[in-house]
Chains A and B, each alone.
Chain A
């Protein structure tokens, strides 16, 4: 994919900083979350002390000190109160940090979506749409949780281990060191295993996606599979992909288990050590039973957060890689955008001019697809464009709405260089009916009204009639409210193309380009569409790109393109008379066809 990973430490830190800045877009929630975390952590630390006190007080009580009864009651109340307060603030901590995550997600998602729409065709040609989806779903999701899994957890662990550790060490430094001895071991193993799991995770995802692809292709191509009786072949493919993924899945189990076992063991061993040394200290009268209890209780409280050290490390690693990828995408500048001070296109005669236009695709700047192309057309004219595959016909169509920018020369509409006007006004004036039709999974009327969502019913029916699709739609049970099947599958190729024509007619474009968009429409229907369009044709320039000659016989002028240059031009009759490439193509298409009208 075209989006590079930022691997440097500086890049990583910068990503984390940017994520933090986004979190602070909701400053109060951040403050509440951090404040609640501090309070909850302190309450958490008080509980073992209180319990230790209680044990000591009972010892005194047992020794017959009457005053101790009320002290014990006080402790009991305190335990209850502190637990309740801890609970309430833990709730706040979790809720507000989740809220910050969600707000971060909203911010990133909106920016992401806008960026997808903003980047030009050149970019989208260079990336696989599946990769963009993965980036926008998985990577974005990985980055958005940074606040709760990274920052808040960092605060919590610092307070618990820092304060708690100090407290223990100050009470009894030997025992304190023993009680804390499991912290570095658990921290290390949990971090290492999390990082390892992270590494294998991507790997496993890749292997699983190979498996998914094998299954998906098999199901989508099931007719081919059956036609070639290739069941055994397909099962072998499946088994290979499956075994490959399963092996790594087992490996991941091993990595996980190895570290959790050692973490628990080191914790329990430290506890045994405290019990041993602490027990002997109590027996020697150097320590109270209560203090020993508070040491042991404190260790149980510390166990979970210490295990999460690995998750903390993982969160930083994940955010810096996922976030870096997301930001790298968000930081891209669209190759085509409004110039500073660009004005709306002012339409007068709708005159279109190509002046010595050169073009090469961004990924192959040396291979000119269009070179020195000049022609002009005025309102009411229809220009036919024909030529062998790769002659630059579709490319030419894409230059007019600035899907790509010319690399030399210029294109003007009514005398205005199209690079100097706003994209929105240009694309409102120019409509391309593409060869490959994308229909949305929504009603037919929503599809037709795509560029003009506020169009009236009459307008929609009118363009549908012009595109010769109205009678088909009217015959459907739900008419214009029929929902298009997934990716338009319920319409035939010809019907989809007619839908696209209706959709492009609705905004009444001044320049209308048919990019081989009637190929799947039969000749009679195509002729009817052509007649219907004559009415509005006087107000616009029409460009027709086609393989079939009879799609453009009626054009005022026909340009024959080869290798990005116009090699012949003129009316149908003139070109026939010329006896060149056009004539040869005409003969080829009509050879042996004794059908009239060709």
Chain B
């Protein structure tokens, strides 16, 4: 095992030798945890979540009824034993004993049925509700504005779709049970008082003590639990990093130091875990002693009462039974309290997702745009993701059907934003974007989508076969059409060389393919989509010359007969375009052919002469 103190030693050795350098080393990153507990009860959240429970109202009502029956039968069992002993056994009446046994048999049969119904119905209904909530969130995320998606980490959304939905499920399942717990608690109290008021009151006096002890204990336990949870995720995060970065770690020879730093985290986690275990256990002796105390009271007082013939033995037996079950409902109710707080915090986050604005939606009078000529026009377009900062300013241009336009300009000049507006990923702040003569806001998004195919800078592949990736959502595309598209683009040879050809399953994000191959697949996907307009953000990643040539050829094929708007990074692409548009700080500063622009001696000529491999990597635009 690694000595956890060694990191400090490592550091202090150096400190004594050289001034005060710091050890610039950590493993795992610090992630801010989300609030784990919320309010106990928030009517707004209950109402919103209630909306998802509504379809299963019948199931939940049945469950509650079943829980009530189940609890009542549980309460009846000690009572039956009591009567069986007092009126049957001790009174010597075998008939009553047998009658009691028949009742007993009936009660346990009902108990069985009720518990079966309740657990099955509520268990399944809770699963359904949570799958419904998850679906609603997922469906909503398909609609929300892209700027929300841009600034939200996928991991964060996933933790909502998984973790938060999970704690909601826990809440739904246990909330029905807690109805039973409350009934059980009051049932025990009532029955004890009914059996013998005096003895009942005295033994019940320990109950508030248990409650109070539990309430004082709860915040302490929660703090300990949260600390243990946090240090635990720190350890897990460090392990995940160690696995992902293992090649860098080995290349840089950081194994020993990392093991020590990881050891520190593990030991810190051990400390918080042991503390949490301690806290979790402190209440056990209190509960056991109080239970023992209550039983002792029953023994002594019950004995005295028996002497005065004011109490039956059977009542004493029933009391002893009830006391042993005293603490169960108290414990589960306090657990339920925490579950509820956690569910409220999660519910809050679920609602946040469901409430994210859908800024781009079809107008009620939106029409299907049908087939168009494929022209694209910007009329005085001003656009910003944020009201205070406009990314595009008074941008106007027109791309004729079949024309290819290359967009160039430094990073942040607004090229990608302009391209996003064509597909109406965002709505313009001012001005108009027209596709085939239609304002994009006046037509349905689905019909607009059919006119435009997009190839993104980072080719994104889904888990699935090569064939499925090329087909994507063009469900009518046949295998032959797909193979034809791949063949035209020159992707066919490498696809056939894969283990199962077109049916080869691609790993995570197409990991088994090279960058160039992934690009060709995303080209093929766009070709199969067969739209009038192609919007393409050229990849900047490095590829060897042979592949580059292949991609250039493929690009030419892809653009043939279509209107093309290309965010260009490669010289060859720029030169092949019909028109070059140079953007700077959201404005169109120059446009024309390569020769025209060079002759003009403006920004384009400057960038070109500066010999930049890519027009984006210019750090300080001229």
Q: How far is the CB of A437 from chain B (nearest CB, A)?
A: 9
The answer to whether A519 touches B541, judged by C-beta atoms less than 8 angstroms apart, is: yes
- Residues 228 to 276 of chain B near chain A (Cβ within 8 Å): 235-236, 238-259, 262-263, 266-267, 269-270, 273-274
The answer to whether A229 touches B450, judged by C-beta atoms less than 8 angstroms apart, is: yes
A-B pairs, 8 with minimum CB distance: A83-B292, A229-B449, A87-B288, A519-B542, A441-B29, A227-B454, A87-B285, A233-B473
Q: CA–CA, A127 to B264, complex, Å?
A: 27
Q: Any chain A CB within 8 A of the CB of B610?
A: yes
The answer to whether A117 touches B545, judged by C-beta atoms less than 8 angstroms apart, is: no
A110-B2 contact, Cβ under 8 Å, with A55-B313, A99-B277, A289-B90: yes
Q: CA–CA, A110 to B77, complex, Å?
A: 52
The answer to whether A80 touches B149, judged by C-beta atoms less than 8 angstroms apart, is: no
The answer to whether A446 touches B26, judged by C-beta atoms less than 8 angstroms apart, is: yes
Q: Any chain B CB within 8 A of the CB of A170?
A: no
Contacting residues, chain B, for A521 (C-beta < 8 A): 613, 617
Give the nearest-CB partner of A442 in chain B: B26
Contacting residues, chain B, for A84 (C-beta < 8 A): 285, 288-289, 292
Q: Any chain A CB within 8 A of the CB of B442?
A: no
Q: How far is the CB of B386 from chain A (nearest CB, A)?
A: 18
CB 8 Å contact bits of A571-598 with B (1 = contact, 0 = none): 0000000000000010011001101110
| Residue from A58, A73, A226 within 8 A of B302 (CB atoms) | A58
Contacting residues, chain B, for A595 (C-beta < 8 A): 571, 608, 611
Q: CA–CA, A523 to B285, complex, Å?
A: 74
The answer to whether B303 touches A57, judged by C-beta atoms less than 8 angstroms apart, is: yes
Q: Any chain B CB within 8 A of the CB of A152?
A: no
29 A-B residue pairs with Cβ-Cβ distance under 8 Å, sorted by A, are A47-B295, A61-B307, A80-B289, A80-B295, A87-B286, A90-B284, A90-B285, A102-B277, A106-B1, A116-B239, A117-B250, A215-B138, A215-B158, A216-B154, A219-B157, A223-B460, A229-B445, A229-B450, A245-B131, A250-B124, A264-B111, A275-B101, A300-B321, A401-B251, A424-B256, A427-B253, A443-B24, A492-B617, A593-B571
Contacting residues, chain B, for A535 (C-beta < 8 A): none
The answer to whether A524 touches B127, judged by C-beta atoms less than 8 angstroms apart, is: no
Query: Which DSSP category, helix, strand, loop or mixed, fits chain A's interface?
Result: helix
Give the nearest-CB partner of A251 in chain B: B124
Report the stretch among A5-13, A365-373, A451-459, A560-568 that lies at the interface. Answer: A451-459
Q: How far is the CB of B92 from chain A (nearest CB, A)?
A: 6
A90-B288 contact, Cβ under 8 Å, with A76-B296, A519-B541: yes
A403-B250 contact, Cβ under 8 Å, with A59-B313, A87-B285, A454-B23: yes
The answer to whether A453 touches B24, judged by C-beta atoms less than 8 angstroms apart, is: yes
Q: How far is the CB of A160 from chain B (nearest CB, A)?
A: 15
| Residue from B77, B115, B273, B525 within 8 A of A260 (CB atoms) | B115
A117-B249 contact, Cβ under 8 Å, with A80-B292, A242-B131, A272-B101: yes
Q: Any chain B CB within 8 A of the CB of A82?
A: yes
Give the nearest-CB partner of B542 in chain A: A519
The answer to whether B21 touches A456, judged by C-beta atoms less than 8 angstroms apart, is: yes
Give the nearest-CB partner of B313 in chain A: A289
Report the stretch among A172-180, A185-193, A291-299 that lies at the interface. Answer: A291-299
CB 8 Å contact bits of A508-531 with B (1 = contact, 0 = none): 000000001001111111000000
For the A-B complex with A107-B1, A226-B425, A450-B254 known, give 4 more contacts whose Cβ atoms are closer than 8 Å. Answer: A88-B288, A113-B242, A276-B98, A522-B614
The answer to whether B544 touches A547, judged by C-beta atoms less than 8 angstroms apart, is: yes
Q: Any chain B CB within 8 A of the CB of A353?
A: no
The answer to whether B266 touches A106, judged by C-beta atoms less than 8 angstroms apart, is: yes
Q: CA–CA, A454 to B119, complex, Å?
A: 60
Contacting residues, chain B, for A75 (C-beta < 8 A): 299
Q: Any chain A CB within 8 A of the CB of B32?
A: no
Q: How far is the CB of B572 from chain A (nearest CB, A)?
A: 7
Report the stretch among B81-89, B330-338, B399-407, B560-568 that lies at the interface. Answer: B81-89
A222-B146 contact, Cβ under 8 Å, with A217-B462, A588-B549: yes
The answer to whether B247 touches A442, judged by C-beta atoms less than 8 angstroms apart, is: no
Most buried by B among A231, A454, A525, A593: A454
Q: CA–CA, A91 to B525, complex, Å?
A: 63
Q: CA–CA, A212 to B1, complex, Å?
A: 36
Q: Any chain A CB within 8 A of the CB of B282?
A: yes
Contacting residues, chain A, for B473 (C-beta < 8 A): 228-230, 232-234
Contacting residues, chain B, for A198 (C-beta < 8 A): none
| Residue from B24, B236, B274 within 8 A of A102 (CB atoms) | B274
Contacting residues, chain A, for B608 (C-beta < 8 A): 595
Q: Any chain B CB within 8 A of the CB of A197?
A: no
Most buried by A among B284, B316, B423: B284
Q: How far is the CB of B491 from chain A (nearest CB, A)?
A: 15
Contacting residues, chain A, for B324 (C-beta < 8 A): 297, 300
Q: How far is the CB of B118 from chain A (nearest CB, A)?
A: 9
Q: CA–CA, A456 to B277, complex, Å?
A: 43
Contacting residues, chain A, for B463 (C-beta < 8 A): 213, 217
Contacting residues, chain B, for A118 (C-beta < 8 A): 255
Q: Any chain B CB within 8 A of the CB of A35?
A: no
Q: How far is the CB of A464 from chain B (nearest CB, A)?
A: 13
The answer to whether A55 touches B317, judged by C-beta atoms less than 8 angstroms apart, is: yes
Q: CA–CA, A449 to B300, complex, Å?
A: 75
The answer to whether B313 touches A58, judged by C-beta atoms less than 8 angstroms apart, is: yes
A388-B158 contact, Cβ under 8 Å, with A86-B288, A228-B453, A250-B124: no
Contacting residues, chain B, for A445 (C-beta < 8 A): 24
Q: How far is the CB of B621 from chain A (nearest CB, A)?
A: 14
Q: CA–CA, A132 to B245, complex, Å?
A: 13
Q: CA–CA, A116 to B462, complex, Å?
A: 28
Q: Any chain B CB within 8 A of the CB of A220?
A: yes
Q: How far is the CB of A333 from chain B (nearest CB, A)?
A: 16
Q: Any chain B CB within 8 A of the CB of A432?
A: yes
The answer to whether A212 touches B303, judged by C-beta atoms less than 8 angstroms apart, is: no
Q: CA–CA, A69 to B29, complex, Å?
A: 68
CB 8 Å contact bits of A42-79 with B (1 = contact, 0 = none): 00000100010011011101100000110011011101
Contacting residues, chain A, for B525 (C-beta < 8 A): 228
A-B contacts counted at CB < 8 A amount to 423
Contacting residues, chain B, for A103 (C-beta < 8 A): 270
A516-B146 contact, Cβ under 8 Å, with A229-B450, A272-B104, A595-B611: no
Most buried by B among A59, A87, A220, A442: A87
A219-B1 contact, Cβ under 8 Å, with A61-B306, A524-B611: no
Q: How far is the CB of A396 from chain B (nearest CB, A)?
A: 15
Contacting residues, chain A, for B411 (C-beta < 8 A): 492
Q: Any chain A CB within 8 A of the CB of B142?
A: yes
Q: Any chain B CB within 8 A of the CB of A534?
A: no
The answer to whether B617 touches A264, judged by C-beta atoms less than 8 angstroms apart, is: no
- Residues 467 to 495 of chain B near chain A (Cβ within 8 Å): 472-473, 475
Contacting residues, chain B, for A331 (C-beta < 8 A): none
Q: Any chain A CB within 8 A of the CB of B153?
A: yes
- Residues 594 to 619 of chain B near chain A (Cβ within 8 Å): 608, 610-614, 616-619
Q: Any chain B CB within 8 A of the CB of A121?
A: yes
The answer to whether A427 touches B252, judged by C-beta atoms less than 8 angstroms apart, is: yes
The answer to whether A51 touches B320, judged by C-beta atoms less than 8 angstroms apart, is: yes
The answer to whether B285 touches A91, judged by C-beta atoms less than 8 angstroms apart, is: yes
Q: Any chain B CB within 8 A of the CB of A553?
A: no
Q: CA–CA, A212 to B115, complex, Å?
A: 33
Q: Any chain B CB within 8 A of the CB of A265?
A: yes
CB 8 Å contact bits of B15-36 with A (1 = contact, 0 = none): 0001001011110010000000
Q: How far is the CB of A31 from chain B (nearest CB, A)?
A: 17
Q: Any chain A CB within 8 A of the CB of B134?
A: yes
Q: CA–CA, A73 to B241, complex, Å?
A: 64
Q: How far is the CB of A397 from chain B (nearest CB, A)?
A: 10
Contacting residues, chain B, for A283 (C-beta < 8 A): 88-89, 92, 94, 97
Q: How far is the CB of A451 from chain B (nearest CB, A)?
A: 4
The answer to whether B303 touches A69, judged by C-beta atoms less than 8 angstroms apart, is: yes
Give the nearest-CB partner of A249 in chain B: B127
Q: CA–CA, A58 to B313, complex, Å?
A: 8
- Residues 74 to 130 of chain B near chain A (Cβ within 8 Å): 77, 81, 84-85, 88-90, 92, 94, 97-98, 100-101, 104-105, 108, 111-112, 115-116, 119-120, 123-124, 127-128
